[in-house]
Structures are given as C-alpha cells and as structure tokens.
Structure 1
Amino acid sequence: MMANLFSSFDPSTNLNLSLNWLSTILVFLFIPMGFWLIPSRLTMIWMLIINTLHKEFKILLGNNSIKGSTLIFISTFALILFNNFLGLFPYIFTSSSHLTMTLTLALPLWLSFMIYGWINNTIHMFAHLVPQGTPPVLMPFMVCIETISNMIRPGTLAVRLSANMIAGHLLMTLLGNTGPALSISLINILIIVQILLLTLESAVSIIQSYVFAVLSTLYSSEVN
C-alpha cells in the first residue's frame, strides 16, 4: 500500500531512469508564448503579476538594491508556480515535492547571500547576531540562537515547499483510492470533496511559490 501511495512521487520510470524530472522542462513550453504571439488576456494578467511582484520585492530589498535584482526572485516564483500547477494535472510528476529540487533552489540562493554579506558587510552581519536591546547576560545565547536560525534557513525553505506539495497530493490520492469501494451517493460526495481539495491545492501552489520568493527576498535584504 505504501509503495503504491508514494509511487506518484517516484522520479524513476520502468527503465530505472529518472525521466520524470523532464516534467520540469514543460514549464518552458508555456512561458515563451507571450513573446511571440499577440498579447492575450493571459499574457496581460501575467505581466500585471510580474509588475506587482517587482514593486513589492523592490520595497523589501530597499533603496540600496541593484537595478534588476528583483528579476531572480520573480523568476524563482514563476518556476515554482508553474511546477506546482503542472503537478496538479494527472500523470505529470510533481518535481517541487522533492527536496532534491527545493534544496537546489534554496541552498545556492542562501549561500550566495551569506558569502556576499560576510565579505562586503562583515560588521553589519555580526550586528545581526545580537538583536538590539539584548541584555549583556543573554548575548552569548542570542548569538548561538541567531546562528542556528540562520543556518537552517535553506532547509526550512526547502522543507516547507516540498511538505506542502506532498501533503495535498497524498490526501487526494488517499481519498481517490477509496472510490471503487463506495456507493454511488458517496462517490458524488467524494467528487465534490476532491474538487474542493483541488481548488485548495491550486491556492497552496500560488501561496507556497509566493512565500518562497518573499522569504528569499527578505534574506537577501538582510545582507545589505
């Protein structure tokens, strides 16, 4: 039962090759359309979302940010969002439910921020380890706590995204597997519940990609 339950999260195929990771490339089939075709309503909505995110991320980064620095966070948001949505379709592998992908996104971002901050703003980074107004007695403990919380940031980013993706998919799979054993009236209720869960998962897909991008922006703003 457990093997069947988690089989949708298995990146390998019958050929013992991890071909399911190719679902990530499907994202690139949707993005370039807006650049070659006459702008549609979908393209205009997407441009509105990008402009809104750009303004918000610019405020979070502050006035000292370099021009175009919001581009990497908007791109991260778009990549995670498309992968989350593609995972909701039947027979498409959800790559964002694996720590292999989420850590690949979170760890290099966090590491680059840390290297940049400690090289260019060393005093500022040391000041972050002790919050303002901390009593002298608690300063050694606060340094330990702040250091640990800083070190686990990429892990929390990655686990938050993958855990939320896995939880919803597993719940839908468990409910779907009970379908053949139910009566007609209960199947109708099950279909309604599945539609509601699918709507919830769509909202979770947007929220989690937004949370990942916003937290990455906040982490980068701390090193300036």
Structure 2
Amino acid sequence: MKKLLLGTAALALSATFATADVVRMATEGAYPPFNFINDAGNVDGFDIAVGNEVCARAQLTCEWVTNEWDSIIPNLVSGNYDTIAAGMSITAERDEVIDFTQAYAPPDPSIYVAMSEDVDLNGGVIAAQTGTIQANHVAESGATLVEFATPDETIAAVKNGEVDAVIADKGFLEPFVTEDAELMFVSDNVMLGGGLGIGVRESDGELKAALDAAIQSMKDDGTLNELIKKWLPASALF
C-alpha cells in the first residue's frame, strides 16, 4: 500500500504537465513482439501497450507514428515527434544525445541464431540491425559485422548464406527459430544495455518527469510486470 500511495503522489505532482496534452510517440513498427503493425493496420506490441498506459496515467493524449530505426533518434531531436518507445535500450552513448525515462523493462536477453552449430561467433560474419546494441557488441567482439536497416533483413541474410549468424533480442528471434527448422540458437543469452526506456529530448524535463511518474506507478501496482509477462514471457520482471 505504501508503494501505491507513493506512486499516486508522484502522478499528482506530474499532473501539472498540461492535462490532455498531445504526445507524439514514435516506434519502429517492425520488431515484434516489442512493436509491429497488426492485421488491422495499427501499431501493436509491448512498447505500444506500455506507452498507452503511461500516457493514460500521465493524463496525456498519445498519438503513435512509425519511423525507420536508423533515423528514429535524429527525428526525435529534430522535433518530428516527442518521444521514442521502440524497444530501445538505455545506453551511455544514446544518453549523450537524448534523455531516457527510467526503464520500463529490464534488459531483454540477446542471442545468436544461425543455420549450423559450428559457427565462429568471434571470428565469423555476423548480422545485426544498424544502430543497435547488438551491432555494437559484434563490432567489439572481433567478428565481422554486417549491418542491415531492418531486423527482417538480418534473418534473410542468414537464410541466404550472406552471413554466418545474426544477433538480436531473443524475444524477436524466438518465433523464427520455432517456425523454421533450419534456424537454431547457437549461444547462451547475452545481456546488453540498461533495460528499455522511453526516449525524450534533453530539453523536455517536464515531460520526462511525467512519464517517469507514470512508469513508477505501473511498477508499484504490478501493471508493468503483467505487461512483461504477456508480451515478453522470457524476460525478467521488476
């Protein structure tokens, strides 16, 4: 009860951030189960579920837009939208350019997938999506990194023999391994980043405070863990 009361108090303080303000939230829309376009043509997934609940608790009107991953941070800085909720891990490098809320999910395990168990992960050719923590990990590992603009292209590169393996979030790769008998996990879990955060411009401190308070209230009453269980069942809880 004490935690719930603290969360409620924090939300009351954040309510000064203009009730019913419209916040444009950007996501990639191509990285299930974090974010994707559903059969109805709408954005869906864990990031969207969290973002909608955060906006509701912060008394903000949430409008979703999609943006390609490689330009998602520059377009936030340029003012094309107000936040990023796109399965984006909190890292020191990104934090130099934008600001982050507190984490709305613990670090999700990354993992390598290939078509053979005999893959040299330290000296082979490894695919990763451009601008991801996985790409940075490969670049530092000694392997040859091949970057692709979309996550689906990384899978295709493994399938057509262009690369030896791909590394990405386990939650993204698991359905491919389950549905394709040629694909297999070839590593243990690799823990990267500081969890998922909502990105905001460094100048938007009031908005960040309102979103932080909403996320904290979701942690305090268990709502956030329930969403993690639903969308990311293999991930750790708060």
Q: Same fold (TM over 0.5)?
A: no
Select the structure of larger CA radius of gyration: 1
TM interval, short-chain normalised: under 0.3
